A = this chain, B = another copy of it.
């Protein structure tokens, strides 16, 4: 077995992994059959067994693969967080769109959500890894990013972890029904969801410096401009 002989080998391996992810996502672990996976991968059943020995082994390989990909995408997206925002609201909206588009509404996001929900209790070790490297970390990472914005006086936040979780929750608010249904939201829906989320987030955590704080003309009666379209 030389180096080059791995080429086709690896291609098949990848093809199996891909097909398995698809089928496991559709059918769940017990519902998925090796025959179906092999067919979808355009590979004989025996090849699947040659590569992964048994179903459970294939399953964990798929999960790890998807998780790695999802994590890479997650941190790539996090690195686009607006640290020196031009217009904080607009920049946060754009960031929220990227986040939901690249990490939540894509195939991997759907797979992981479905998986953790349905097989998480049966495979605690998988869930542990997901918790440590996946969405478990996204909260703290985003908390740190919000802390920097707060430090710059752009946001007024007392608990960064809570704020981060709430930001994510708000972004998901309008999408949950969609994602549960299994459908992928359109770009317009994504944009509108992000807009609604950030607007409320800024109302709750904005500061005078943010521009969300147009002071009332007089007195305390209307101390913000929520009624006017912004």
Residues on A lying within 8 angstroms of B by beta carbon are 26-31, 113-114, 116-118, 120-121, 127, 131, 135-136, 156, 158-159, 162, 165-166, 168-170, 172-174, 176-177, 180-182, 196-197, 200-201, 203-205, 208, 213, 215, 220-221, 223-224, 226-227
> Across the interface, which residues of B come within 8 angstroms of A170, CB to CB?
166, 169-170
A120 touches B182 (CB 8 A): yes
> Across the interface, which residues of B come within 8 angstroms of A118, CB to CB?
28, 114, 117-118
- In-complex Cβ contact of A31 among B30, B174, B204, B208 (8 A): B30
A196 touches B113 (CB 8 A): no
Please measure, in the bound complex, the distance between the C-alpha atom of A107 and the C-alpha atom of B31, giving whole angstroms.
24
> Across the interface, which residues of B come within 8 angstroms of A223, CB to CB?
208, 213, 215, 223-224
B208 touches A220 (CB 8 A): yes
> Across the interface, which residues of B come within 8 angstroms of A174, CB to CB?
162, 165
- In-complex Cβ contact of A158 among B176, B215, B226 (8 A): B226
Whose C-beta in chain B lies nearest to the C-beta of A117? Answer: B117
- In-complex Cβ contact of A156 among B169, B208, B227 (8 A): B227
B165 touches A173 (CB 8 A): yes
> Across the interface, which residues of B come within 8 angstroms of A159, CB to CB?
196
Whose C-beta in chain B lies nearest to the C-beta of A114? Answer: B117
* Distance from A191 Cβ to chain B, minimum over Cβ atoms (Å): 14
- In-complex Cβ contact of A221 among B176, B180, B208 (8 A): B208
* Distance from A205 Cβ to chain B, minimum over Cβ atoms (Å): 7
Known: A117-B113, A120-B180. A196 touches B162 (CB 8 A): yes
